[in-house]
């Protein structure tokens, strides 16, 4: 009995070393060799300084930048150490009120009339709170505001959005989208 | 395009499952495989280091006892590592010990393949805990599930036998020949798409607008791979597979969904090979596929239809985007929600609490049905085989013959055990939810008022007892009440099925085969497939319809009427 229990404990130790130490360390080593950038944080640098990760959304509030989605990660949103959705259910009055409030804000910022349609992604919180993308419609809606704030012709900003649309992967998978950080970086580049 | 994505997924799943199923049959029959030259010596080394006896097979009681002791010892280890993580290595964020009730819940959760998470990974667990405690149980709980279904399959295939295999051998071979190589390859594919894999401290950057953002880091890909392949589902991060570092692109999303169901689907093929008639496996696979297509149709339809209240406010496009990511949209999110709850996985790429009521009902129902639509690694097929026994029993009653399956008579003992395996999780879900709904400790944790609040509680106990691990995550589950109640539900739901199943394996192994007669019901026919799917649905509906009617069903009607709470 004791001998069997001891063997069971030893099996657990062996398996812990194999699957809990050797396996993740081997995966880390191989990943660093073959895909060092991706295994890190897919960092985007500007002038040698990291400004964020290509995969992680960040907060944009000024009129001269394209805005991402509402975020429930951390109290101020886009906290990459506290990923989270709002978890509000479809019949929660808080959700309906929050969306109504955001609709008003988006319309006011972008000079749209009351009741004007707004794409859902721009007024709903994402699942992770770190969604890096918005839909092409949500980006186009912001073009006039951004162009005005930056004194750029609308056509030029619109063309930049079009250039930054990522299509469905292999033409089938996922949804067309625009990475907000990449778009804003290109916008800064253009404005220089 | 949405339709095409779903069809493409199912085609790829079946294409991958067939060869993998054949390969696993070779592994568990002890036949030669192409990995033998590398793995055979390693296998021998493991047995020598551990000092376990694999030269002798076990009867079902010995098999079950070994499994139980091994699993509970593993649970103790996970508990201790969490409590001691403050003084253990690989803790660059200096996380302190996990509180006792949460550590118990997490230990029960990962050992039972549930991976319910009452914590946020990036703000609670050190890298050492994630690797040496959680990743380990990702492997061991999945391997335990495979071992049980392989033992049951042997029990059905053998004639007049006393033993059903050797637990150590089944466990070790599942890990070495199946889970570990698949995980290593899959982890690297994930990294190539942007899933991170490092041991660095968190990195703070200055954002374009001059704010500061701290990026969480960690050995994510290695845990992600086994999280899905082992139908575990416990995310490295709080947002799970919605987090861009766990699931950065539509391609990783497709691969993650394939990883969830590929082993469960393949095991039906393995089953067919091991019982000597591939069509026995295919008939079960077909019933699973039928139920899956129904489920994904309802989830997708409901999510695409969305929330009419929001449309009247002026929201354009698909309205049900709360709790979803733009890169996945409605189709990939609906498919993922169906896949993860068909299996006992519980990874999520969208927040289930924010799904439309009917879109949330189906995941909940699939868990309540026992996760037999493909199901968890091992647990899906052994759960489905319990329903197979119920089906042949019901057919036997209808024609007035002793029911038989694979040439073996189904008698009182097997029926008792099969009934227990269905009733124990069901009773746990309903009694647990009832307790929570009737007490202050239970209702205080609800986030969403109205019928949705009941859905949150029902989902939590279904997810716990069903060892799924996904959540209507608005429910604040990190309270002593929920940590302990759900931890117990997970243990009861896991071993309340495994033990009856192993008992069936033992009693079936001992039986003589009877030659099929003219009255024998063909369990390879389309009729059988249809009846099996119907029995699963009817048993589930009879048990859970009243509870579901008070939660998601009434909420859907109220949503359509424009009501909010």
Report pLDDT digits (tens) over A17-40: 999 999 999 999 999 999 998 888
Spatial separation of the C-alpha atoms in residues A154 and B469, rounded to whole Å:
48
Segment B71-87 shows an average pLDDT of: 96
Please, are residues A129 and A74 in contact by the beta-carbon 8 Å criterion? yes
Looking at chain B, which residue has its C-alpha nearest residue A86? B323
Q: With cut-offs at 50, 70 and 90, classify the pLDDT of residue B515.
A: confident
Residue of B248, B254, B325 lying closest to A173 (CB–CB): B254
Residues A9, A68, single domain; the answer is: no
Question: Of how many residues is chain B composed?
Answer: 565
Nearest-CA distance B401 → chain A (Å): 45
A21 chain-B contacts, CB cut-off 8 A? 131-132
Phi, psi of A90 (to 5 degrees): -65, -25
* Maximum separation of any 2 CA atoms in chain B, in Å: 80
Residues A27, A60, single domain; the answer is: no
CA angle B260, B266, B268 (to 5 degrees): 120
Nearest-CA distance B105 → chain A (Å): 20
Residues A58, A134, single domain; the answer is: yes
Residues A108, A34, single domain; the answer is: no
Whether the CB of B61 is below 8 Å from some CB of chain A: the reply is no
Residues A22, A59, single domain; the answer is: no
DSSP 8-class letter at A169 = B
Whether the CB of B435 is below 8 Å from some CB of chain A: the reply is no
pTM above the 0.90 mark?
yes
Residues A2, A18, single domain; the answer is: yes
| Predicted local distance difference test score (pLDDT) of residue A190 | 86
| Predicted local distance difference test score (pLDDT) of residue B390 | 97
Binding-face residues of B in 449-488 toward A, CB within 8 A: 449-452, 455, 472-474
Residues A75, A149, single domain; the answer is: yes
Residues A104, A32, single domain; the answer is: no
A78 chain-B contacts, CB cut-off 8 A? 213
Mutation target to probe the B interface, by most B beta carbons within 10 A, among A2, A24, A73, A82 is A24
Looking at chain A, which residue has its C-alpha nearest residue B316? A119
Which residue from B74, B64, B72 is spatially nearest to B167, judged by alpha carbons? B64
A60 chain-B contacts, CB cut-off 8 A? 208-209
B348 chain-A contacts, CB cut-off 8 A? 127
Nearest-CA distance B404 → chain A (Å): 37
B4 chain-A contacts, CB cut-off 8 A? 172
Distances (CA, A) of A106 to A63, A69, A116, A131, A143: 11, 11, 10, 18, 13
Spatial separation of the C-alpha atoms in residues B484 and B482, rounded to whole Å:
5
| Predicted local distance difference test score (pLDDT) of residue A192 | 64
Residues A148, A87, single domain; the answer is: yes
Residues A31, A47, single domain; the answer is: no
Residues A6, A59, single domain; the answer is: no
User: By CB neighbour count within 10 A (0-12 exposed, 13-18 middle, 19+ buried), where does A117 fall?
Assistant: middle
User: What percentage of chain B exceeds 70 in pLDDT?
Assistant: 100
pLDDT digits (tens, 9 = 90+) for B309-327: 999 999 999 999 999 999 9
Residue of A4, A39, A41 lying closest to B203 (CB–CB): A41
CA angle B291, B295, B298 (to 5 degrees): 145
Mean pLDDT of all residues belonging to chain B: 95
**A100 with B313: Cβ contact below 8 A:** yes
Segment B235-257 shows an average pLDDT of: 96
Segment B385-404 shows an average pLDDT of: 92
As a whole number of Å, the CA-based R_g of chain A is 23
| Three state DSSP letters for B222-237 | HHHHHHHHCCCCCCCC
Spatial separation of the C-alpha atoms in residues B287 and A32, rounded to whole Å:
43
**A35 with B120: Cβ contact below 8 A:** no
The question of ipTM being above 0.90 is answered as: yes
Residues A25, A99, single domain; the answer is: no
Looking at chain B, which residue has its C-alpha nearest residue A37? B194
**A96 with B310: Cβ contact below 8 A:** yes
**A24 with B450: Cβ contact below 8 A:** no
| Predicted local distance difference test score (pLDDT) of residue B126 | 94
Tell me which residue range forms the domain holding A26: 1-40
How many domains does chain A divide into? 2
Question: Does the pLDDT of residue B76 top 90, yes or no?
Answer: yes
Residue of A16, A56, A117 lying closest to B244 (CB–CB): A56
User: What percentage of chain A exceeds 90 in pLDDT?
Assistant: 90
């Amino acid at each position: 009995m004791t001998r069997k229990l001891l063997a069971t404990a030893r099996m657990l130790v062996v398996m812990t070393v194999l699957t809990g130490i050797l396996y993740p360390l081997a995966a880390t080593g191989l990943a660093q060799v073959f895909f060092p950038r991706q295994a890190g944080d897919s960092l985007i640098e500007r002038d040698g300084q990291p400004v964020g990760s290509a995969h992680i959304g960040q907060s944009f509030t000024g009129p001269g930048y394209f805005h991402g989605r509402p975020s429930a990660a951390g109290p101020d949103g886009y906290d990459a150490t506290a990923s989270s959705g709002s978890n509000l259910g479809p019949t929660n009055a808080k959700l309906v009120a929050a969306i109504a409030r955001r609709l008003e804000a988006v319309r006011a910022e972008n000079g749209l009339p009351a009741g004007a349609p707004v794409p859902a992604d721009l007024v709903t919180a994402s699942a992770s709170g770190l969604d890096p993308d918005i839909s092409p419609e949500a980006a186009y809606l912001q073009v006039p505001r951004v162009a005005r704030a930056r004194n750029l012709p609308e056509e030029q900003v619109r063309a930049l959005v079009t250039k930054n649309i990522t299509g469905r992967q292999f033409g089938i998978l996922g949804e067309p989208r625009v990475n907000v950080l990449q778009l804003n970086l290109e916008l800064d580049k253009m404005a220089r | 395009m949405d339709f095409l994505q779903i069809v493409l997924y199912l085609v790829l799943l079946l294409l991958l499952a067939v060869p993998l199923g054949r390969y696993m049959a070779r592994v568990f029959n002890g036949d030669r495989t192409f990995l033998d030259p590398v793995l055979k010596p390693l296998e021998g080394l493991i047995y020598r280091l551990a000092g376990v006896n694999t030269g002798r097979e076990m009867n079902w009681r010995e098999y079950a006892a070994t499994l139980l002791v091994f699993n509970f010892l593993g649970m103790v280890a996970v508990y201790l590592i969490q409590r001691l993580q403050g003084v253990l290595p690989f803790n660059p964020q200096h996380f302190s010990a996990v509180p006792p009730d949460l550590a118990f819940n997490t230990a029960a959760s990962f050992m039972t393949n549930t991976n319910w998470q009452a914590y946020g990974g990036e703000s609670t667990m050190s890298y050492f805990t994630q690797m040496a405690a959680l990743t380990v149980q990702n492997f061991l709980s999945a391997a335990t599930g495979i071992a049980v279904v392989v033992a049951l399959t042997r029990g059905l295939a053998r004639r007049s036998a006393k033993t059903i295999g050797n637990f150590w051998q089944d466990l070790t071979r599942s890990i070495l020949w199946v889970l570990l190589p698949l995980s290593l390859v899959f982890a690297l594919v994930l990294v190539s798409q942007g899933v991170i894999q490092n041991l660095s401290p968190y990195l703070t950057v200055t954002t374009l607008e001059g704010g500061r953002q701290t990026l969480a880091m960690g050995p994510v890909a290695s845990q992600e791979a086994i999280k899905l392949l082992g139908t575990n589902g416990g995310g490295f991060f709080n947002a799970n597979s919605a987090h861009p570092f766990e699931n950065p692109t539509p391609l990783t999303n497709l691969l993650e969904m394939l990883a969830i169901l590929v082993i469960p689907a393949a095991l039906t093929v393995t089953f067919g090979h091991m019982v000597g008639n591939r069509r026995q496996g295919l008939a079960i696979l077909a019933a699973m596929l039928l139920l899956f297509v129904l489920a994904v149709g309802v989830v997708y339809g409901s999510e695409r239809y969305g929330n009419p209240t929001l449309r009247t406010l002026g929201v354009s496009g698909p309205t049900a985007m709360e709790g979803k990511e733009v890169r996945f949209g409605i189709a990939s999110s609906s498919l993922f929600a169906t896949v993860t709850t068909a299996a006992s996985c519980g990874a999520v790429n969208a927040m289930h609490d924010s799904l439309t009521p009917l879109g949330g009902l189906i995941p909940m129902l699939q868990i309540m049905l026992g996760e037999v639509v493909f199901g968890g690694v091992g647990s899906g097929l052994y759960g489905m085989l319990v329903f197979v026994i119920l089906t042949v029993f019901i057919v036997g009653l209808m024609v007035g013959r002793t029911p038989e399956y694979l040439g073996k008579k189904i008698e009182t003992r097997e029926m008792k055990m099969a009934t227990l395996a269905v009733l124990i999780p069901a009773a746990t879900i309903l009694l647990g939810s009832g307790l929570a709904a009737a007490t202050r400790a239970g209702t205080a944790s609800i986030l969403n008022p109205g019928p949705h609040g009941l859905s949150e509680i029902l989902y939590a106990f279904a997810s716990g007892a069903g060892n799924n691990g996904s959540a209507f995550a608005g429910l604040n589950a990190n309270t002593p009440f929920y940590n302990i109640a759900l931890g117990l539900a997970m243990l009861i739901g896991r071993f309340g099925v495994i033990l009856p199943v192993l008992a069936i394996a033992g009693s079936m192994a001992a039986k003589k085969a009877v030659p099929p007669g003219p009255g024998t019901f063909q369990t390879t026919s389309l009729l059988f497939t249809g009846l099996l799917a119907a029995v699963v649905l009817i048993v589930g509906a009879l048990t859970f319809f009243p509870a579901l009617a008070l939660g998601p069903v009434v909420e859907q009607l109220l949503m359509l009427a424009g009501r909010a709470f």
